[in-house]
Structure formats: structure tokens, C-alpha cells
Amino acid sequence: MSKSNSGKKRVVVSTATENPKPTVSKTKSGSSHNLMDEHVLIFKKNNYIWMGIGALLIVLGMFLMAGGSMPSPDVWDENIIYSTRRTVIAPIVILAGLGVEIYAIFRKS
């Protein structure tokens, strides 16, 4: 009965006199370097500043849209709920913030 050698490792011996190159383990993508060694940022400082401005505009628009209550629970005042600040100005500020975010992402520094 013969046993199969498929599960065993084989050792290969070279008789070459030159210095052999050491083997390098490769990652799944096939590159031999570690991506954690390089700290490359996608965006520059200017991009992050513009992203911060856009985020502040979005938060400002949310604050403009929020708040306000009826002075009395028995009285319904449409001017408080459907004010120009809440229905027009706040959405425009939020959309402007989103526009600034898009600009910050696509801007080349």
C-alpha cells in the first residue's frame, strides 16, 4: 500500500553559488508592500476647510428650520409654523451646504 505525498511539504535545495533573493509574501491584490506604511490623504487641507463650511451651512439650515412653538396650546397660528424662515430660507441654506460639500469633494488642490 503506497501513501500519497500530497499533504507533505517539499524542500528544494539549490546548488547555485549566487546569493538567492529572499521570498516575499504578497497580499491578495498582488502587491508586496504594506498599505499601512504610506499615509497618503485623499484630500488636501483646503478641501477639508470647504467640507467644514458645508457642514456648518447644513447645521445652520437645520437650526433655522427647527424651533418655535405656539404661545398657547389653544391657538393655532399658521404664521409661526409656515414662516418664510422655515419654508424657504432654511431649505435654501441646506441645499447651499450640500452644494459646498460637492464642490469640496470635486475640487482639485
- Give this prediction's pTM: 0.61
Helix H or strand E segment including 49: helix 45-65
Q: How far does CA 63 lie from the centroid of its chain?
A: 25
The pLDDT value given to residue 91: 97
The pLDDT value given to residue 37: 63
Question: Domain segments of the chain: what residues?
Answer: 41-68+76-106
- 3-class secondary-structure state, position 5: coil
Q: Which amino acid is at 74?
A: D
Q: Which amino acid is at 84?
A: T
Q: What is the mean pLDDT of each run of 10 residues along the chain (109 residues)?
A: 66 72 63 64 92 98 87 83 91 98 91
